[in-house]
Structure 1
Amino acid sequence: MKKILVPTDFSTQAENALKVAAQLAKKHNSEIYLLHILEIPLHEVDPLKSYNNLPEAVYFMKLAHKQFEELKKKDYLKDIKIIEDVNFHEIFKGVFHTCKKHDIDLIIMGSNGASGLKEMLIGSNTEKVVRTSETPVLVIKNKHKIFNINNFVFASDFKDENKITYQKAIQFAKKLDAKIHLLLVNTPNKFITSAHAKHRMKEFARAFNFSNYSINIYNDVNIEKGIMNFSNSIQADLIAMSTHGRQGISHFFNGSISEDLVNHAKRPVLTFKI
């Protein structure tokens, strides 16, 4: 966890994420990359000119750097190496390219979620990053004066495609000295017996050299509610799961549980792309 990326629009939600990043950076001697995205409408761009030559771009870039300077004066960022960047991509593309360029280990983003028609047609910027990022994304919803993760839920169907992401979750748990609560949610539409579920989960966990975990099967009306209700019942500090990164028409019809949790869960959510 040497390089942490925090996309910011200088909002309260973004600063909540930055404060969490600062705590992790101090614990793990990490660098923080602060990224601000300037989304300039393409129809306003002269194809013979670069973004950097647009008067609007110059103005907003100077404004962003001024805000960066004010932000870096905050006490909670003292003694942390901060690298700032202003980008002209759409936010999910800007995050993607920044992660590739700097070999980012973790993205931390703030979100207040999206709901209703906005969620269905547009979704939050954080949701778009979760859907497309190949780097793990930690989504922060609230202010955390002290960000300690002692127990977190890893929700899955525990099929082989999730083994790579579970390995990443184990690495995260070891760094934080946290216990993982493996969770399979049983629903009326996708019901399996408890015996079958336990056998699958035990075989899944057996493949890893990690013992600080529990196995849990929870019945609920759907997977999203099951994850949130179980997490509430054990007062989990974090929810972690895989995301398939569906896009386009497939995402519209099938949805993504991880993206729904990003919008609806009150707890921090950590996602790993399959």
Structure 2
Amino acid sequence: MKKILVPVDFSEHSEYALEVASKIAKQHGAGIILFHMLGLSDSVLANSEIAEEAEAKYYLKLAKEKIKEYTEKEYLKNVSVETIIQNYKDFEEVNAVAQEQHCDLVVMGSHGTSGFSELFVGSNTEKVVRTSDIPVIVIKDQHEDFTIKKIVMASDFAKENISVYKKADAFAKLYKASLEVVYINTTGANFIGYDIVEKRMEAFKKELGKDIQINFYSHPSLERGIFKYCNEKDADLLVIPTHGRKGLAHFVVGSLAENVSNHAELPVMTIKL
């Protein structure tokens, strides 16, 4: 790992992400690129050329001052930090910046407070997750320590999940962490017999070319089941495959009850299929 991209909007959540990124960077000798999107509105750009230039300079000056404050954080000491400020307005363009800068990972804060679906769907974070070609770690709360010992990957054992597993496994090895795969079998109309799931598991292992730890977990809700399993296993990181522009909704459908929302404090890594 050489470069970590951290999109910041100067909120406390983006600072939580930056602090986690700094820990990852120190652990693996990586550099950090701080990326801020000015997002000047069309109304600003529609002004006269002189007014437009003056207002753009004003917001750029504010952004430069704020991003400089971020680079001077104590936890970034001894970490190589670069800054990029651009007038992108669409968070889907974060992927373009990550590609241009040859980043290996995106670490981004989320303002989500009401569970897994609201943590991603319809938010700027979801747009980054949906379009990023490199892994994204979503941070919701402050983590004084970012020690990864146990990683759980939720999977439906589709063939395309093989590449996701390999990337998750590579990340686990960086931390010398354990990695296990869980299949959440929802009860009710969508319930699938264990014998069928077992065949999927074996086919997945065969395609992967090695024996891995896979667990079968039944729960009425896919989303709640994932978080409940991670909670029971005391997981430090959850890995979720994404389907590109189809978004997380293709993999995770529905919403969570209020009492499950606290589980979203668990850092989540999304990896594009």
Q: TM-score range by the shorter chain?
A: 0.7 to 0.9
User: How far is 1:92 from its partner?
Assistant: 1.8
Alignment of 1:145-224 (within 5 A): 145-187=144-186, 188-208=188-208, 213-224=212-223
Alignment of 1:1-274 (within 5 A): 1-46=1-46, 54-113=53-112, 115=114, 119=118, 123-187=122-186, 188-208=188-208, 213-247=212-246, 256-257=251-252, 264=261, 265-274=264-273
**Structure 2 residues not aligned, in runs of 5+:** none
Stretches (4+) displaced over 3 A: 46-51, 206-211, 258-261
Letter aligned with residue 155 of structure 2: S
Name the CA distance, whole Å, in 1 between partners of 2:254 and 2:143: 22
Name the CA distance, whole Å, in 2 between partners of 1:176 and 1:59: 43
Name the CA distance, whole Å, in 1 between partners of 2:195 and 2:151: 24
Residues 171-204 of structure 1: CA deviation (Å, up to 9, x unaligned): 1111111111211010123322223223322331
Letter aligned with residue 59 of structure 1: Y
User: How far is 1:109 from its partner?
Assistant: 0.5
- Match of 1:233, SS state, is helix
User: Could you tell me whether the CA contact under 8 Å between 1:92 and 1:133 is conserved in 2?
Assistant: no
- Match of 2:244, SS state, is coil
User: Could you tell me whether the CA contact under 8 Å between 2:92 and 2:127 is conserved in 1?
Assistant: no
How many residues end up aligned between the 2 structures? 265
Name the CA distance, whole Å, in 1 between partners of 2:40 and 2:99: 22
TM-score by length of 2: 0.87
Letter aligned with residue 106 of structure 1: L
Residues 102-150 of structure 1: CA deviation (Å, up to 9, x unaligned): 111100011121659x959x82211111111111100011111110111
- Match of 1:36, SS state, is strand
Residues 195-241 of structure 1: CA deviation (Å, up to 9, x unaligned): 32233223313444666x52111111121111011111111111101
User: Could you tell me whether the CA contact under 8 Å between 1:162 and 1:242 is conserved in 2?
Assistant: yes
TM-align CA RMSD: 2.9
Distance 1:132 1:209, change over 3 A: same
**Structure 1 residues not aligned, in runs of 5+:** none
Letter aligned with residue 193 of structure 1: G
User: How far is 1:59 from its partner?
Assistant: 1.1
Name the CA distance, whole Å, in 1 between partners of 2:196 and 2:77: 51
User: Could you tell me whether the CA contact under 8 Å between 2:36 and 2:85 is conserved in 1?
Assistant: yes
Larger mean CA deviation between 169-178 and 87-96 belongs to 87-96
User: How far is 1:47 from its partner?
Assistant: 9.8
